[in-house]
Structure 1
Amino acid sequence: MDKFDKLTGIAAPMPMINIDTDMIIPKQFLKTIKRSGLGVNLFDEMRYADDGSEIPTFILNQDAYRDAEILVAGDNFGCGSSREHAPWAIKDFGIRCVIAPSYADIFYNNCFKNGILPIALPQEQVDVLMKDAEKGSNARISIDLDAQTITTSDGEVIPFEVDAFKKHCLMNGLDDIGLTMEKATSIDTFEAAASQARPWV
Structure 2
Amino acid sequence: MEKFEKITGVAAPLPLINVDTDMIIPKQFLKTIKRSGLGVNLFDEMRYDGEGREIPDFVLNQPAYRKAEILVAGENFGCGSSREHAPWAIKDFGIKAVIAPSFADIFFNNCFKNGILPIVLPQDQVDRLMDDARKGENARITVDLEHQTVSGSDGTEFRFEVDPHQKHCLMEGLDDIGQTLQKAAAIDSFEQGYAARMPWV
Task: Give TM-score, length-normalised by structure 2.
Answer: 0.99
Mapped partners of 2:113, 2:10: distance in 1: 23
Match of residue 101 from structure 1: 101
1:196 to 2:196 alignment: yes
Q: Which amino acid aligns with 1:86?
A: A
Mapped partners of 1:8, 1:115: distance in 2: 17
SS at match of 2:107: helix
Match of residue 25 from structure 1: 25
What is the aligned residue count? 201
Match of residue 121 from structure 1: 121
Q: Which amino acid aligns with 2:42?
A: L
Mapped partners of 1:5, 1:65: distance in 2: 20
Mapped partners of 1:95, 1:7: distance in 2: 10
1:91 to 2:64 alignment: no
Per-residue CA deviations over 1:6-36 (Å, capped at 9, x if unaligned) read 1111100001000000000000000000000
Mapped partners of 2:138, 2:166: distance in 1: 31
Mapped partners of 1:146, 1:65: distance in 2: 25
Match of residue 57 from structure 1: 57
Mapped partners of 2:6, 2:146: distance in 1: 8
1:79 to 2:73 alignment: no
Match of residue 16 from structure 1: 16
The runs of 5 or more residues in structure 2 that have no matched partner are none
Mapped partners of 2:185, 2:7: distance in 1: 33
Match of residue 167 from structure 1: 167
Q: Which amino acid aligns with 1:102?
A: S
Give the CA deviation at 1:137.
Answer: 1.4
Runs of 4+ in 1 over 6 A off after TM superposition: none
Q: Which amino acid aligns with 2:176?
A: D
Mapped partners of 1:30, 1:116: distance in 2: 19
Match of residue 43 from structure 1: 43
Per-residue CA deviations over 1:114-146 (Å, capped at 9, x if unaligned) read 000000010000001000001111211111101
Mapped partners of 2:145, 2:66: distance in 1: 24
Identity %: 73
Match of residue 148 from structure 1: 148
SS at match of 2:10: strand
Q: Which amino acid aligns with 2:51?
A: D
The runs of 5 or more residues in structure 1 that have no matched partner are none
Match of residue 67 from structure 2: 67
SS at match of 1:64: helix
Q: Which amino acid aligns with 1:20?
A: D
Give the CA deviation at 1:179.
Answer: 0.7
Mapped partners of 2:166, 2:87: distance in 1: 16
